Amino acid sequence: METYDIAVIPGDGIGTEVTSAAMEVLDTVAEKHDFALERSTYDWGTERYLEEGAMMPDDGLDRIESADSIFLGAVGHPEVPDHVTLNGLLLPIRKGFDQYICKRPNKLFEGIESPLRGYGADDIDLVVYRENTEGEYANVGGREHHGFSNEVAVQSGLFTRKGTERIVCSAFEAATEREGHLTSITKSNAQAHSMVFWDDIVEEVAADFPEVEVRSLLVDRASMDLVRRPEEFDVVVASNLFGDISTDIAAIITGSLGLAPSGNINEENDYPDMFEPVHGSAPDIVGEGIANPLASILTGAMMFEYLDDGKDAAADDLWNAVEAQLADESAPRTPDLGGDAKTVDVVSDLSDRL
Ligand code: ATP
Ligand code: MG
C-alpha cells in the first residue's frame, strides 16, 4: 500500500484537539482509498518555548524536510507574544521551505449562517493566493533617532520579480483550472513603487493566459466588495499584507474561522508543503472539547490534493462529507456554528458519512 510520511505538529491550545480529530478522519478516508499516512509527531510550540526558550529545536527544519507533507494544528499562547510564535516556528518553516503560496479557499456551505446571507451574498466560493515569503512582511527597515523630537521608523516592502511573478502565475493557473476569473488586489494609486511593479507583472503574466479574465481592484475597494458582493470574486491574488487582511474577511463572511483551511505551498521544490487551519489556538475554549474540527479536516483534504500524484478522490470525499454534514439540520454542530455538540460528535458523524 502507498504510504505517505506526514510530519504532524499539533502545536498549542485547540491545535492539539483538532489535529487528533482530523487525523482520525484522514485515516478513515485514506484507508478507503488504499493509501496510508505514517505520522511523525513533533511537540513544538509555546509549551516548549516556555520550558526551553525555543519553539522548535535548532535542527527542526532538517528533521522534517524529507516528509511528504507537514500538518500543523495551531500555535499561540496568551502569555507568549505573536511575534515569538510567528518567528519561532511558522515563518522559519514557510521561508525555509520557500512556501511562497498561501492558499486559502473560502466557500459558503449550505446550512451555514453567514453574516451576509440574505443580503444577496449566498453563493460565495473563492480562493485567495497570498504571497507568503516577501512583500510588506519582509521586515526591511528600522528605527532611528534624529534628535529627541523626530524619531523615525521605516518599514519597506520587498517585492522581487521572481517572487511576484511566481505568485501571480500560480493564481492564473488556478483560475485556468477553475475556468474562473482573477482579481488582483493592488494599491498602485498610493504605492508608486511596489504596487505599480505588481500591476506591471500582472499585466505581463496575463498575456500568457488570454482565456482568463482579470481585473485589478484597489485594496480598499476590494475589502468593501468582499463584504458587499463577495460572489463576484473567484481567484484572488494579493501581496502578503493585502492577502492577510482579505483572507480574514473572506473567512468571516463564510461563517466561522472553524471552517477555514489553508496551505503553504511550493510545488516546484522538493521540500514538503505545510497545511494548517486558518484559526489560532483559541485559548478561550481550550480543554472544553468544543473546538470545531472541520477547518482542520478540510485542511487535511487540501493536503491530500497536494500529495505526490494528488489524492483528489480522497480530498473530494472529505469535502463532500463535510458539505453533507453541514447541510443536514439534524447533524451535530459545535457552538461556533450555533450548536451544542462536541468535537468528537462531529468527528463520529463525519466518519459515519464517509
Ligand atoms: P492565536 O493567538 O493562537 O491566534 P487567537 O485567540 O488570536 O489565538 P483564534 O484562535 O483564531 O485567535 O480565535 C479567534 C476566535 O475564534 C476565538 O473566540 C476562538 O474561540 C474562535 N475559534 C477559532 N477557531 C475555532 C474553532 N476551530 N472552533 C471554534 N471556535 C474557534
Ligand atoms: Mg490570532
Q: How far is the CA of 199 from the centre of ligand 1 (A)?
A: 34
Query: Is the CB of 293 within 6 Å of ligand 1?
Result: no
Residue 227 in 3-state DSSP?
helix
pLDDT for residue 52: 95
Which ligand 1 atom sits closest to the C-alpha of 277?
27
Q: Whose CA is nearest to atom 7 of ligand 1?
A: 280
For the residues 283-291, what does the mean pLDDT come to? 97
Query: Is the CB of 292 within 6 Å of ligand 1?
Result: yes
pLDDT for residue 149: 76
Query: Is the CB of 280 within 6 Å of ligand 1?
Result: yes
pLDDT above 70: residue 120: no
Cell numbers at 297, concatenated: 479536516
Which ligand 1 atom sits closest to the C-alpha of 18?
27
Q: In whole angstroms, give the CA distance from residue 7 to residue 93.
A: 12
The catalytic position among 187, 273, 306, 311 is: 187
32 is catalytic: no
Give, for 286, the enclosing helix (H) or strand (E): none
Q: How far is the CA of 341 from the centre of ligand 2 (A)?
A: 24
Query: Is the CB of 281 within 6 Å of ligand 1?
Result: yes
Cell numbers at 323, concatenated: 458539505
For the residues 189-193, what does the mean pLDDT come to? 96
Task: Considering every ligand atom shown, identify the ligand nearest to the alpha carbon of residue 282 and give its number.
Answer: 1
Euclidean distance between the first and the last CA atom of the chain, given in angstroms as a whole number: 20
pLDDT above 90: residue 255: no
Q: In whole angstroms, give the CA distance from residue 73 to residue 94.
A: 15
Do 25 and 352 contact (CB within 8 A), yes or no?
A: no
Best residue for ligand 1 mutational test, from 257, 286, 347 (most atoms within 8 Å of Cβ):
257
Burial of 81 (0-12, 13-18, 19+ CB in 10 A): exposed
Quick one: pLDDT band at residue 183, thresholds 50, 70, 90?
A: very high
Q: Which residues contact 254 (CB under 8 A, 6 or more apart)?
A: 106, 107, 108, 109, 112, 114, 124, 260
122 is catalytic: no
248 is catalytic: yes
Residue among 250, 249, 226, 246 nearest 108 (CA): 250
The catalytic position among 34, 62, 220, 340 is: 220
Q: In whole angstroms, give the CA distance from residue 211 to residue 214.
A: 9
pLDDT for residue 310: 85
Q: How far is the CA of 336 from the centre of ligand 1 (A)?
A: 10
DSSP string computed for 278-312: SS---TTTTTTT----HHHHHHHHHHHHHSTT--H
Neighbour count for residue 142 (Cβ, 10 Å): 10
Quick one: pLDDT band at residue 81, thresholds 50, 70, 90?
A: very high
Domains of the chain, each with CATH number or no CATH: 1-102+259-353 (3.40.718.10), 114-254 (3.40.718.10)
Q: How far is the CA of 298 from the centre of ligand 1 (A)?
A: 17
Do 272 and 91 contact (CB within 8 A), yes or no?
A: no
For the residues 40-48, what does the mean pLDDT come to? 97
Do 107 and 121 contact (CB within 8 A), yes or no?
A: no
Cell 453541514: give the residue: 326
What ipTM does the predicted assembly reach? 0.93
Tell me the sheet residues that pair with 184.
216, 237
Best residue for ligand 1 mutational test, from 9, 279, 288 (most atoms within 8 Å of Cβ):
279
Cell numbers at 310, concatenated: 494528488
Beta strand 69-74 pairing with 2-11: parallel
Residue among 80, 107, 137 nearest 250 (CA): 107
Q: In whole angstroms, give the CA distance from residue 65 to residue 272.
A: 6
244 is catalytic: yes
For the residues 201-227, what does the mean pLDDT come to? 97
pLDDT for residue 115: 81
| Torsions phi, psi for 153 (to 5 deg) | -120, 130
Q: In whole angstroms, give the CA distance from residue 350 to residue 286.
A: 22
311 is catalytic: no
Quick one: pLDDT band at residue 181, thresholds 50, 70, 90?
A: very high
Q: How far is the CA of 280 from the centre of ligand 2 (A)?
A: 5
For the residues 159-171, what does the mean pLDDT come to? 98
